[in-house]
Structure 1
Amino acid sequence: MLDANLKEQLKAYLERITQPIELVASLDASDTAREMEELLSEIATLSALITYERRDDDARKPSFAIHRTGTAVGVRFAGLPMGHEFNSLVLALLQVGGYPSKTAQDVIEQVQALDGDFHFETYFSQSCQNCPDVVQALNLMSVLNPKIRHVAIDGASFQSEVDGRQVMAVPSIYLNGQPFGQGRMDLEQILAKIDTGAEARAAEKLKHKAPFDVLVVGGGPAGAAAAIYAARKGIRTGVVAERFGGQVLDTMAIENFISVSHTEGPKLAVALEEHVKAYEVDIMNVQRAEKLVPAKVPGGLAEVHLKNGAVLKARSVILATGARWRQMNVPGEAEYRNKGVAYCPHCDGPLFKGKRVAVIGGGNSGVEAAIDLAGIVAHVTLIEFDGKLRADAVLQRKLNSLPNVKVVTSALTTEVHGDGSKVTGLSYKNRDTDELHRVELEGIFVQIGLVPNTEFLKETVALTNRGEIEIDHRGATSQPGVFAAGDATTTPFKQIVIAMGEGAKASLSAFDYLIRLAPVEGEVKAA
């Protein structure tokens, strides 16, 4: 099951465990069960502190539990945690085995203080890069608090459950049998949903923070670069982000980041956060900015108002709020989001195995999605608004070689159809003839670009009619002391490497702005 190199790496990791653990399997006669038993048996040979036993005592088969011997501490996997979830398996082995988490102590204490009965179930796919964050967060919670239980379920191995619960997007999380959330969530986001007093405590803590010299709004590549460049100048720097990593977290393969031939979005996001944390930067994660109040005079304090009611102050602000997937904005899209309407083919594609799907968009992302999905689903209909596809020629050649793909150009999607619980089809209009067509299908993957996260900035800084923040060649906005960078701005070519450069430039511009300011009467510069 594991090759020799992987075994050696895993054996080295398992030397860190300090508590005996047992692997307890519940198996059936499936091929997955056979592979699971082989995997667990191999793991048990790598450490004297690990034992393996088959008990068949769980109704969900094939599955296995990782228990700390003689305690209630443990986690469960249903199906094989391979692909992107192999790291989740390794972490679970370490944490159940007593290896301490690197999670901040205040977050650990918050988990340990939770009171109540929490039984989480997470449906994942092995190709989903968003799923490990959720699985690992809930596994850690179940290790830290005996009142919390978690089972991670490979949807491909439990298709009847997926169909019965109508799971059409991963990760899908259930709490005590009821839907809890879908999509990427980290530990702090999960805690914010179940710990009812967390938001008020966070607001109370934030409102006492001293003013920043530079406050970065956004934690993607542009925001991370801006924070690093500011902190290196020795000035008081803060980052407030709804989710650190931003849109990069939803990116699968990255092959155009100079000097790195290949990486993945979540891996890059971790590296960004670790780099920022290497400096004295105050990171305020899982915080949504809702209002910007510019300084009344140059050198005065600008205010960033957060959703939880807290107000942060700063002598300069860098807006790096990024962008999100653009929606079609047609009837039925919102109603059937995560019920057949999806935005991540890598994450959700395996859930549509053998089914009919459509991809909306003929750019690189749309054509790449259609190519990927064609190897999983029964049929792909690619719908493009323009009269021709806009993807690179090499991608179009690959697409045209696939027998189960149909390309429709000059088409405007007009409606998503469903039966009340899931997608059943879509309608589009031929833009040349105005003729309406209906396509019967089970899934729709929307790949039509990005929209900037700038709604809260209307009437504060100058925006284009597309919502992009207008900036000059130095990254300055229409407001003195307010700078911007990345995908939320008018900078052309929305690329990670460009966003990082723009973030660095905006930060250097903010520092230049600060050192040229005359002192403002009645305001004291933050140390």
Structure 2
Amino acid sequence: MLDANLTAQLKAYLEKVTQPIEIVASLDDSAKSIELNELLGEITALSERISLVRRDDNERKPSFAINRVGSDIGVRFAGIPMGHEFTSLVLALLQVGGHPSKAAADVIEQVRNLDGDYRFETYFSLSCQNCPDVVQALNLMSVLNPRIQHVAIDGALYQDEVDARQVMSVPTVYLNGEVFDQGRMSLEQILAKIDNGSAEREAGRMRNKEAFDVLVVGGGPAGAAAAIYAARKGIRTGVAAERFGGQVLDTMGIENFISVQHTEGPKLAAALEQHVRDYDVDIMNLQRADRLLPAKGPGELIEIQLANGASLKSKSVILSTGARWRQMNVPGEEQYRNKGVAYCPHCDGPLFKGKRVAVIGGGNSGVEAAIDLAGIVSHVTLIEFDSKLRADEVLQRKLRSLHNVSIILSAQTSEVLGDGQKVNGLLYTDRVGGGTGHVELEGIFVQIGLLPNTEWLKGTLELSARGEIIIDDRGQTSLPGVFAAGDATTVPYKQIVIAMGAGSTAALSAFDHLIRSPLPLAETAEAEAEAA
């Protein structure tokens, strides 16, 4: 299964294993069990510290556990973790084998101190770029704390189980038999949900922080670029981000980032964060801004109030809060979110294998989603509000060549239908004839653009009719000392490379603002005392 290049890389990684590992396989006579047994045999042959045994006593076949010999430390995979999950497999082997994690020391200690028994199950798909973060976080937790157990389950391989539990979005995590959460989660986010005192402890630490020279709100490409450019000026820089990486984390393939022919969103987000951490930047992740309080006068500080109750103060602020998927805002959408209504075809598409789905939106993202899904599902209905598709012509030609795709134009989705548990159809209004149409289906993928994350700024600074932060060519907003960059602003063409450039511009403008501004009153007094 492993080609020569992958085998050589894995062999090099496994040299870092310091503790003996036993892989315990639970198999049957299926083709997938034969495939998994082949993979495990190849892995075992690469390290003398790894042994393979077979015990067909697990309820899920094929599956396998990776256990540290002589201990109760281990993780389990139900399926064949290739694709996006191959990295999860490698990390599991290393961490069970004694290689230390790169997680922050305080986070590791927090996991070890968790009191209670936690049995996690994560449903993933091999094409899901959001799933590895969750799988890897829970695997690490099970390695650090023996009272935590985790099994990662390939939903496409265990379709009956997925149907029985009505899993319609990945990753979906169960804790002790009950749904815990869905979607991308970091280790810190998982801990925040199960460690009730963590948010208050973090807020307490943040209240004691000194004022920043530049405080960046948002950790996407614009925010990362702004932080790097500010830190390179040698000034005190902080980043408060709801999730570092922003919407890039939800992006599958990136082929227009200049000098990089192809990458994936999570890889780029990880590289952005590592680059920021190479500088002296105070990164405060999982922090949602609630309110901006402008400086009261020259030399005064700007304040950002956070959802956890803490406040951060700074001489200048760069807003780079990005955007999110636009929702249809029709009856039934919220009720059936993650129960048939989805926003990521790459992640959730495999769960709808052989079923009927709709894609809402005829732009590039909608047509690309329909093409992608057509190879998995039985039928795709693309619904477009306009009288014509807006996607690139090459994409339209590809879409129209597919036998299992229907296109409905001049149609406005009016309601998501379901049986109380999951989606079973939708209604739309014919914008030409005025009648109502009904489509029977099992899934709906919404691809109708973005909304800026600026609701918390209304009434504070000037926003456009679309809710975007109005900026000039220097990134300056309507408030002195407050700059903005990226998809949350009026800058045209919402692209990663444009956001990075805008973030850099905003940071340089903030620095220029600082060197031309009067000193805060406290610093003026200190300077006068030194001069005397």
TM-score range, shorter chain: over 0.9
- What is the CA–CA distance in structure 1 between the aligned matches of 2:410 and 2:432, rounded to whole Å? 7
Partners of 2:379 and 2:404 within 8 A in 1: yes
1:321 aligned to 2:328? no
- What is the CA–CA distance in structure 2 between the aligned matches of 1:130 and 1:25, rounded to whole Å? 26
Partners of 2:25 and 2:56 within 8 A in 1: yes
Shift of 1:57: 2.0
SS of residue paired to 2:346: helix
- In structure 2, what is the equivalent of residue 510 of structure 1? 510
1:96-116 alpha-carbon deviations (Å, 9 max, x no partner): 000000110000000000010
- In structure 2, what is the equivalent of residue 284 of structure 1? 284
- What is the CA–CA distance in structure 2 between the aligned matches of 1:65 and 1:299, rounded to whole Å? 60
1:397-446 alpha-carbon deviations (Å, 9 max, x no partner): 10011000001111000000000000000011110011100000000000
Partners of 1:44 and 1:52 within 8 A in 2: yes
Letter in 2 for 1:488: A
- In structure 1, what is the equivalent of residue 229 of structure 2? 229
- In structure 1, what is the equivalent of residue 202 of structure 2? 202
Shift of 1:520: 3.0
- What is the CA–CA distance in structure 1 between the aligned matches of 2:483 and 2:79, rounded to whole Å? 48
- What is the CA–CA distance in structure 2 between the aligned matches of 1:141 and 1:150, rounded to whole Å? 8
- In structure 1, what is the equivalent of residue 460 of structure 2? 460
- What is the CA–CA distance in structure 1 between the aligned matches of 2:299 and 2:128, rounded to whole Å? 46
Letter in 1 for 2:113: A
- What is the CA–CA distance in structure 1 between the aligned matches of 2:184 and 2:170, rounded to whole Å? 8
- What is the CA–CA distance in structure 1 between the aligned matches of 2:357 and 2:299, rounded to whole Å? 55
1:87 aligned to 2:87? yes
SS of residue paired to 1:157: coil
Partners of 2:382 and 2:408 within 8 A in 1: yes
- In structure 2, what is the equivalent of residue 105 of structure 1? 105
Shift of 1:524: 6.6
1:68-88 alpha-carbon deviations (Å, 9 max, x no partner): 001000000001111100000
1:342-399 alpha-carbon deviations (Å, 9 max, x no partner): 0000000000000000000000000000000000000000000000000001100100
- What is the CA–CA distance in structure 2 between the aligned matches of 1:328 and 1:127, rounded to whole Å? 25
SS of residue paired to 2:168: coil
Shift of 1:466: 1.1
Letter in 1 for 2:29: A
How is 1:29-108 mapped onto 2 (pairs within 5 angstroms)?
Answer: 29-108=29-108
Partners of 2:299 and 2:521 within 8 A in 1: no
- What is the CA–CA distance in structure 2 between the aligned matches of 1:429 and 1:378, rounded to whole Å? 24
- In structure 1, what is the equivalent of residue 167 of structure 2? 167
- What is the CA–CA distance in structure 2 between the aligned matches of 1:177 and 1:147, rounded to whole Å? 16
- What is the CA–CA distance in structure 2 between the aligned matches of 1:266 and 1:53, rounded to whole Å? 34
Shift of 1:518: 1.4
SS of residue paired to 2:51: strand
| TM-score (norm. length: structure 2) | 0.98
- In structure 1, what is the equivalent of residue 426 of structure 2? 426
Unaligned runs of 5+ in 2: 528-532
Shift of 1:31: 1.0
1:149-181 alpha-carbon deviations (Å, 9 max, x no partner): 000000011111100000000000000000000
1:301-346 alpha-carbon deviations (Å, 9 max, x no partner): 1111111100000000000000000000000000000000000000
Partners of 1:469 and 1:489 within 8 A in 2: yes
- In structure 1, what is the equivalent of residue 360 of structure 2? 360
Letter in 2 for 1:304: I
- What is the CA–CA distance in structure 1 between the aligned matches of 2:60 and 2:325, rounded to whole Å? 36
Shift of 1:4: 1.6
How is 1:166-315 mapped onto 2 (pairs within 5 angstroms)?
Answer: 166-315=166-315
SS of residue paired to 2:521: coil
Runs of 4+ in 1 over 6 A off after TM superposition: 524-527
Letter in 1 for 2:283: I
- What is the CA–CA distance in structure 2 between the aligned matches of 1:318 and 1:136, rounded to whole Å? 32
SS of residue paired to 1:318: strand
How is 1:460-479 mapped onto 2 (pairs within 5 angstroms)?
Answer: 460-479=460-479
- What is the CA–CA distance in structure 2 between the aligned matches of 1:417 and 1:380, rounded to whole Å? 17
1:486 aligned to 2:483? no
- In structure 2, what is the equivalent of residue 8 of structure 1? 8
Letter in 2 for 1:509: S
- What is the CA–CA distance in structure 2 between the aligned matches of 1:432 and 1:525, rounded to whole Å? 71
Q: 1:526 to 1:208 in 2, by over 3 A?
A: farther
- What is the CA–CA distance in structure 1 between the aligned matches of 2:104 and 2:312, rounded to whole Å? 22
Partners of 1:299 and 1:514 within 8 A in 2: no
- In structure 2, what is the equivalent of residue 122 of structure 1? 122
- What is the CA–CA distance in structure 1 between the aligned matches of 2:143 and 2:206, rounded to whole Å? 29
Count of residue correspondences:
527
Partners of 1:298 and 1:481 within 8 A in 2: no
- What is the CA–CA distance in structure 2 between the aligned matches of 1:189 and 1:9, rounded to whole Å? 31
Partners of 1:236 and 1:526 within 8 A in 2: no
SS of residue paired to 1:204: helix
- What is the CA–CA distance in structure 1 between the aligned matches of 2:216 and 2:195, rounded to whole Å? 27
- What is the CA–CA distance in structure 2 between the aligned matches of 1:237 and 1:526, rounded to whole Å? 21
Partners of 1:361 and 1:382 within 8 A in 2: yes
1:224-253 alpha-carbon deviations (Å, 9 max, x no partner): 000000000000000000100000000000
Letter in 2 for 1:341: V
Q: 1:271 to 1:409 in 2, by over 3 A?
A: same
- What is the CA–CA distance in structure 2 between the aligned matches of 1:183 and 1:474, rounded to whole Å? 36
Partners of 1:210 and 1:526 within 8 A in 2: no
Partners of 1:67 and 1:96 within 8 A in 2: yes
SS of residue paired to 1:42: helix
- What is the CA–CA distance in structure 2 between the aligned matches of 1:506 and 1:270, rounded to whole Å? 22
- In structure 2, what is the equivalent of residue 451 of structure 1? 451
Higher mean C-alpha displacement, 52-61 vs 95-104:
52-61
- In structure 1, what is the equivalent of residue 530 of structure 2? none
Q: 1:315 to 1:36 in 2, by over 3 A?
A: same
SS of residue paired to 2:136: helix
Higher mean C-alpha displacement, 393-402 vs 295-304:
295-304
Shift of 1:61: 1.2
Shift of 1:521: 2.3
- What is the CA–CA distance in structure 1 between the aligned matches of 2:524 and 2:70, rounded to whole Å? 58
Higher mean C-alpha displacement, 294-303 vs 92-101:
294-303
SS of residue paired to 2:161: helix
- What is the CA–CA distance in structure 1 between the aligned matches of 2:87 and 2:524, rounded to whole Å? 48
- What is the CA–CA distance in structure 1 between the aligned matches of 2:233 and 2:342, rounded to whole Å? 43
Letter in 1 for 2:332: G
Letter in 2 for 1:427: L
Letter in 2 for 1:29: D
- What is the CA–CA distance in structure 2 between the aligned matches of 1:408 and 1:477, rounded to whole Å? 41
- In structure 2, what is the equivalent of residue 148 of structure 1? 148
Shift of 1:526: 12
Letter in 2 for 1:506: A
Shift of 1:299: 3.0
